[in-house]
Chains A and B, each alone.
Chain A
Amino acid sequence: MRPRMLALVGSLLAVVVVPLGAHHSFAAEYDNTQPVKVTGTLTRVEWTNPHIWFYLDVKDDKGVVTSWGFSAGPPGVLQRRGIPKSVLKVGEQIVVEGFRARDGSTNASGGTVTFTDGRRVFTASNEDALPQSAK
């Protein structure tokens, strides 16, 4: 099971992000003109409906740590895509790309997660944004 899982995750490379909402309108909550890409340590994962949330501690050049929250797809959508909860491990350093919340907070949509070994998973809401190679 585990090798199969990893193979699935590995197949989700070369991702094209087309962020669209599934539970609610992406446009209402996130600003697609404000892309973000942050690197940090995963501190918490809420693998719950209607969207998973995960949190990163991100340290800037001066050593100041900011907590970022990322909203991604529903658990069921991710599981069907081959992304189980165990993919996101607290304590791991990851890179997350997404779009900032319109409220100006350090929340964002979590479109993709890249691990230190180069694996990348597509965590956004809309299945339509899957790369063709993953279908």
Chain B
Amino acid sequence: MTTRLLVPIAGLALLVASSLPLPNAPLHAQAQPAGGQIPRAADGKPDLSGIWDTPKAPGGRGGGATVFDKAKMAPFKPGGEALFYEPRTGDPRHDEPRAFCMPSGFPSAFLGPYPIQIVQTPKYLVMVTEFMRVTRLIPLDGRAHLKDIEPTFYGDPVGRWEGDTLVIDATNYKRWSLDDWYYQNPKEYRMHTEAFHTIERLRRTDANTIAYQFTVDDPKIFTRPWSVDWEMKLHPEWEKTGLYEMVCNENNRCEGGNCAKK
């Protein structure tokens, strides 16, 4: 308890000592250009580090899960709708694999009601969600996508800076849920194919906000790529404890909703 108390006290002292003009600026901010609003790292890039709330529509509050708005989606290709909607069958292993501790995949793991910590270095952007501590290690060195690899739940992301915007391009996804079982339609949920390609554009617009544009490109389902514009909000107060541990298998005593057998 004493150690836990010392951490926020030390952090507060650092905040005061740095004399940042904005009270909610992150503790790790290393440079503040004159008249500038956004913290920058030592290499001059905007610093995206910090603990952030889940991406939401601008103005959205709270920690609720985010789902894609159907109205934002491109039209289906012929046959695309059947690939997109996965009917629920009543078998929880099919309908809700997360209940058996299977991965949520990207992006759904990062759309739930859990904080996301970003750690930025010149070589990597690290994104960790408290939800099962899923981690994305995104290289920023300009490398190409991996070739001849098996598709995965979280894909193969590579990042690059376009001015002050960080662009993350990811491919090599396994066919899996698009926006999760947070999508609550009792008859179906929504999937992407193995052709899924995502483009994220992160731009820190002020000390507390990342404008987060998410583009879905699934040429087997949609006639064209389509995008949503979300925001991530900084929560410096969550730095006091950091992300909590979340382990699916620790006491998953009601898997698939079948509690009675336990």
Contacts and interface: CB of A to CB of B under 8 A. Distances in A.
B7 interface: no
Nearest to A76: B244
Contact of B241 (A26, A50, A79): A79
B59 to A, nearest CB: 14
Interface stretch (B29-37, B150-158, B194-202, B247-255): B247-255
Given A1-B1, A77-B114, A128 B186 contact: no
Nearest to A107: B259
Contacts of B258: 103
Given A25-B99, A76-B130, 16 more contacts: A20-B64, A22-B131, A23-B248, A28-B99, A28-B181, A29-B99, A29-B256, A50-B247, A50-B252, A77-B63, A77-B113, A80-B241, A101-B257, A101-B259, A126-B64, A130-B63
A30 B63 CA distance: 21
- Give the top 7 A-B pairs by smallest Cβ distance, nearest first: A76-B244, A128-B64, A127-B63, A29-B257, A48-B251, A24-B99, A107-B259
Interface residues of B, number: 40
B259 A103 contact: yes
B246 A46 contact: no
A53 B184 CA distance: 23
B95 interface: yes
Contacts of A111: none
A130 B130 CA distance: 19
B92 A28 contact: yes
B61 interface: yes
A126 B63 contact: yes
Interface of B is mostly: loop
Given A20-B184, A25-B99, A28-B256, A50 B248 contact: yes
A24 B96 contact: yes
Interface string B83-122: 0000000001001101101000000000011110000000
B243 interface: yes
Contacts of A130: 62-63
A74 interface: yes
Contacts of A20: 64-65, 182, 184
Contact of A128 (B99, B113, B131): B113
A74 B251 CA distance: 11
B50 to A, nearest CB: 16
Interface string B167-199: 000000000000001101010000000000000
A103 B113 contact: no
Given A49-B250, A77-B114, A79-B244, A25 B130 contact: no
Contact of A49 (B113, B245, B260): B245
Contact of B259 (A69, A80, A129): A69
Given A20-B182, A76-B243, A103 B260 contact: yes
Nearest to B90: A28
B68 interface: no
A71 B254 contact: yes
Contacts of B92: 28
B124 interface: no
